[in-house]
Structure 1
Amino acid sequence: MASKALILIEGHRSIGPLYVRAAQRRGLHPITMSTDPTQYGYLAAEGIDAVQVDTNDIDAVKSAYSRLKLTHAVAGLTGFSGPDESIYVTVGKLCRHFGLPGPDPTCIEQCHDKFVQRQLLAQAGVPIPDYRVATNAMEVDSAAAEIGLPVVIKPVVGSGSSGVRMCRTVGEVANHTRHLLGGRHIWQSSPRILVEEFAQGQYITANMIGGRVVGIGTGEFGPLPHFVYREYSFPAPLSADENARIADASLSCLRALGLGWGPANIEFRWTKRGPIVIEVNPRLAGTPDPELVQLAYGIDLVDEHIKLVIGEECDLRARHSRTASARFLVPDRDGMLEGIEGVSRAAAVPGVAEVKMYVHPNTPIVRKGDYRDLIGHVIAASPSRDQTAALLQQAVNLVNWTITPFQT
C-alpha cells in the first residue's frame, strides 16, 4: 500500500528538513507546495517531491491540493511561516476548507498582526510593553515621546527581527523611521510601524504544543541597537516560582489569542515588573529550538506537531533532563567570505551535537541587523550547564572564517 502524503506549504531553510525527515520516519510521503521550490536546496538534495504553485493564491493552492488527492491519500497538511508569516494563515484556511486538523486561521491572522496581538493581550490583562501604532514619521515621533526613550521600533507584520531596532535618541527614531518608510524595507502589507517600550531584562522563550508548555529556554543577543540572536539554552536557569510564572503567562497568552491547537512559542523579557510578553508566535520556533528541546528533554517538537497534523495524540513527557545550548556564528564585518575552517574538528568534540554552516565560501557578507546575519551555529549538550558552556566554547573556538573587505 502506498504511503500517505504529508503536504507541506512552502519550506524552511532550517526546520524544513526536520519536517521532511520526521514525516519519512513516520512512513509518510512529504510533498512540498511552493511558489519556487528551487529556493529550498534540501528538496532537490533529498529527492523530495515538490509542486510549483503560487502559495499566495489560496484558490490555486486548493486546486493543486485537490489534484494531489486524486493520486495520493493525504494524511495531513501544514507549513512554515519563515519571513512571510502569512503562509501559516493560508495553512489554517486550507485545513479548515478541507476538514483537516489545523490551527484556527482567524486566530493565526490576529497573531500575525503584532498590533492586534497586543490589543488582545492587553484586553486579557497579560503584561506587555507600552505600545502605539503609527503610519508616518510624525506619528512615530509622537508615540516615542509619549512612551519615553528608549523605544523599540518594528514593522507591525514581519519576523526574524527584520526592521527591528532599539532607538535611544530622537535622531535614531527619525533615522530608523526613514529607513522603514523610505523604500529600503520590504513591506508585506501597507506600512504600519509599532513603537513600544524597551523592556529590559533576561530574554526567555516558552515552547508549547497543544496548550502545554514543553520547554522554557533563555537567549542572548548581540550588541544593540539590533536584536541578532547569539545564544540559546534549555532549560532556562529559573527557580520553580519563576518557571511557574512563565508557564502561567504563556497559557494566558494562548487563551487571549485562541491558540489552543498546535505549536506556539512565546518570547518574554524578565523585567523589574516580572515577565513581560514581547511576542507570541503561533508556530514552532526555527532552528535551533527544536533541536535544543530534543537534546534537553527528549521531546521531538517536530514529530509531535506532525502527530497533531495527522490527527494523532501528542506525547509530551520528558525522557531525560540535560542542558542544551546553541551558539550562532555571526561575522563582525562586511566583505567576501573567503574560507571556513575547523567545522569537522568542532563537530568531533564529544558532546557537540551539530555544527552547521548556512553559507559557503565565496559568499558576499552584507550585515542587515537581523536573522540574515547568522552564518552558522554550534549545538552542544551535557548533564550540566557549566559543562555544556565549556563544550560549546571549545567547539566555537575551533571554527574560523576569513572575510576580505569589499573593494571600494
Structure 2
Amino acid sequence: MKHILFVESREYLPGIEFCKQQNWKVTLLTTTPEFYQKEKLAMVDDVFMVETYDEQKVVEFVRQYHARQHLDAVLSFSDLYVIPATAAAKAIGVPTMDPEATKRARNKWITRELCKQHGIASPSFYNAASLQQALEAAEEIGYPCIIKPIDGASSLGVKCVYNPQELERAYADYMENRHLGKGLYGSERLLIEEYIEGELFSVETLTCNGATHVLGITDRQLIGFPGFIESAGAFPIVGQHQDSSIPLVLRCLQVLGIDFGAAHTEIVLTAKGPLIIEVNPRMGGGPVHDLIYYATGIDLVKEIIKIHMGMPPELQPVHSKVAAAKILYATVNGTLRSIKQHQPILEQMDVKHFKVSKIGQQVKVPESNFDSIGTLVVVGDTESAARSRLELIEQQLEFIVE
C-alpha cells in the first residue's frame, strides 16, 4: 500500500478523497487536529501531534517514521508549512521542490533581491528590521508605499500608507498581531516597497520532469484599501499581456530554482508592463483551485498529489469555459445567524460551487483573506457572461448578522 504524509493542510484536507480512492494510507502531522473538518479528519489513517512550525522537528519525525512506515510522498497544501514539508521530503528522498527554492520564494525580500539581480521587473523595496529603518525606507521610496511582512500570507499585515503616522500605526498593528496560529509567528522584518498602480493577476503553474506547465492566468480583484483583501477572480483571463507576463513569470521561477510542484505567481500589470509582486511555492489559495477545475476540468489538487507520488499528471483541458468567483465577507461585525437565498443558489445551472462557513460564529468586516465566510463560483462561455451571472446571483444572497 502506498503511503502519503501531509504536513498540515487546509481545513478541508484537499485531496483526501482522491487518496482514499487510490487505497493509499494517509498520515497527517499537525499541532491542532481540531482545526480540520471532522468528517475529513476521520478519513485520515494516522494523525500525529508534532510542532509543525519547527522545521527540524518535522524533519526528524519524518525520518524516524519513514524508517518504520515507508513513505512515498510528503507535502503540504498550506503556504505556512511548505518549508518543513519540502525539507522533510528531501530528507527521505521522495519527490519534492528544492527546499532552498521554497525558502527563497517564501521570503519576499530574497525574491525581490533575486529579481533585482537578474533584471526581472518588480517594485523598488527595502528590508526593515525596525520602525526607524521602516520610516527611513519610506522616505527614500516616497509615499504612498506598501508595508508587508517578508514571510506573510493571506494579506495579513499588508497596508498602503500615505505618511509616517500611518506607517507607525501599521507597523505597531502588525507587531501586535503577527501570531499566525498553530505556534507560528510572522517575521519581525518587513518590506517597505513602492506602491504600484495596475491590475492584479496570478499565473498558475505546475512543474515536473523538467518542464513548467502554465495552466493559465487568474484575474484578482481586491477590496479593503488601504489593505489588500481578495474579493473576486476569474479564470482563464486572455489578453495581450500574456505575451509579456508568462515569460516574466517563467524566468522568475527559474531564478528562484522552483523545479517541482505548483506555483502561484502574482503580477501587477502596469502601463509599462508586468511586474512580479510575489511567488508562492504552492497552489493558489482561495477559489483558484475551483476556478481552474470548473473552467477546464483539471483537478489541480489531484495532479499535484500524483506528481508527488511519482505518477504523470494529466493537464489536458476536458472542456473550455470561464469560471468566476466571489469571495464572501461580512459587512458588519457580529454573529452570522443565517443566510437568505431569494432563489436557491445551487439549483441554478451555472452555479458550480456555493459554500458558506461560520454560521453561528463571530464574523467581522474583513482585515485579511482569513476573514472570508464563503465562496460562490459560476461558469460561463465568456468572461463577461460569467462575471455578469456572478453579480446577479450575488444579489440574491442576504447574510443575517447580529
Using structure 2 for the length normalisation, give the TM-score. 0.92
Q: CA separation in 1, counterparts of 2:311 and 2:20? A: 16
Deviation at 1:63, TM superposition (A): 5.3
Residue in structure 1 matched with residue 75 of structure 2 by the alignment: 78
Distance 1:108 1:327, change over 3 A: same
1:386 partner amino acid: S
Work out the CA distance in 2 between the residues paired with 1:343 and 1:311: 47
Q: Which of 369, 372, 376 is the matching residue for 2:370?
A: 372
Secondary structure at the counterpart of residue 26 of structure 2: strand
Q: How many angstroms apart in 1 are the aligned matches of 2:221 and 2:53?
A: 34
Shift of 1:177: 1.9
Q: Match for residue 7 of structure 2?
A: 9
Contact preservation (8 Å) 1:263, 1:282: yes
Do the aligned partners of 1:4 and 1:72 also contact (CA within 8 Å) in 2? no
Q: 1:25 to 1:397 in 2, by over 3 A?
A: farther
Of 105, 109, 112, the match for 1:115:
109
Instruction: Find the counterpart in structure 1 of residue 177 from structure 2.
Output: 184
Instruction: Determine if contact 1:203/1:219 at 8 Å carries over to the other structure.
Output: yes
Q: 2:172 aligns to what SS in structure 1?
A: helix
Query: Aligned residue for 1:169?
Result: 163
Q: Which string of whole-angstrom CA distances, capped at 9 and with x for unpartnered residues, describes residues 28-70 of structure 1?
A: 2322111121211245564323222222344543454456546
The CA deviation at 1:339 is 2.0
Q: What is the aligned partner in structure 1 of residue 234 from structure 2?
A: 233
For 1:205, the equivalent position in structure 2 comes to 202
In 2: Cα distance, 1:302 partner to 1:343 partner? 33
Match of 2:17 in 1: 21
Among 138, 144, 148, the residue aligned to 2:138: 144
Residue 215 of structure 1 deviates from its aligned partner by 1.4
Change in CA separation of 1:74 and 1:293 when aligned onto 2, cut-off 3 Å: same
Q: Determine the C-alpha separation between the residues in 1 that align with 2:264 and 2:143.
A: 28
The number of equivalent residue pairs is 393
**Could you state the TM-score of these two structures normalised by the residue count of structure 1?**
0.90
Residue aligned with 1:18, SS: coil
Q: Are residue 386 (structure 1) and residue 384 (structure 2) matched?
A: yes
Give me the identity figure in percent: 24
The farther-off stretch of 172-181 and 321-330 is 172-181
How do 1:288-303 and structure 2 match up within 5 A?
A: 288-303=287-302
Amino acid at match of 1:31: T
CA-based RMSD of the aligned residues comes to 2.1
Structure 1's unaligned 5+ residue stretches are none
What do residues 178-234 of structure 1 show as CA deviations (whole Å, max 9, x unaligned)?
A: 2223x2333725511111111111111100000221111101111311111110100
Distance 1:170 1:98 in 2: 49
The code of the aligned residue for 2:139 comes to: A
- Contact 1:8–1:77, Cα closer than 8 Å, also in 2: yes
How far the C-alpha of 1:134 sits from its partner, in A, is: 0.9
Going from structure 1 to structure 2, the CA distance change for 1:344 and 1:312 (only over 3 Å counts) comes to farther
Amino acid at match of 2:272: R
The 3 A distance-change label for structure 1 pair 345 and 90 is: same
- Spell out, residue by residue over 1:346-399, the C-alpha distance to the aligned partner (whole angstroms, 9 max, x if none): 1111110110112112x1223451012211110011222232123222322222
Contact kept? 1:347, 1:395, Cα under 8 Å: no
SS in 1 for 2:173: helix
Distance (whole Å) between structure 1 residues aligned to residue 62 and residue 39 of structure 2: 19
Q: Give the secondary-structure state (helix, strand or coil) at the position aligned to 1:74.
A: coil
Displaced runs of 4 or more, over 6 A = none
Instruction: Pick closer, same or farther for the CA change 1:70–1:107 going to 2, 3 Å.
Output: closer
Match of 2:246 in 1: 247
- Give SS of 1:30's match: strand
Q: Match of 1:125?
A: 119
C-alpha distance in structure 2 between counterparts of 1:374 and 1:391, whole Å: 21
Indicate the residue corresponding to 2:36 in structure 1.
40
Per the alignment, do residues 247 and 31 of structure 1 end up closer, same or farther by CA in structure 2, a change over 3 Å counting?
A: same
Query: Equivalent of 1:155, from 144, 149, 152?
Result: 149
> 1:215 and 1:46 mapped to 2: Cα distance?
34
Distance in 2, matches of 1:270 and 1:377, equals 26
Change (3 A) 1:368 1:234: closer
- Distance in 1 of aligned mates of 2:343 and 2:96: 40
Pair 1:224-2:225 in alignment: yes
Q: SS state of the match for residue 324, structure 2?
A: strand
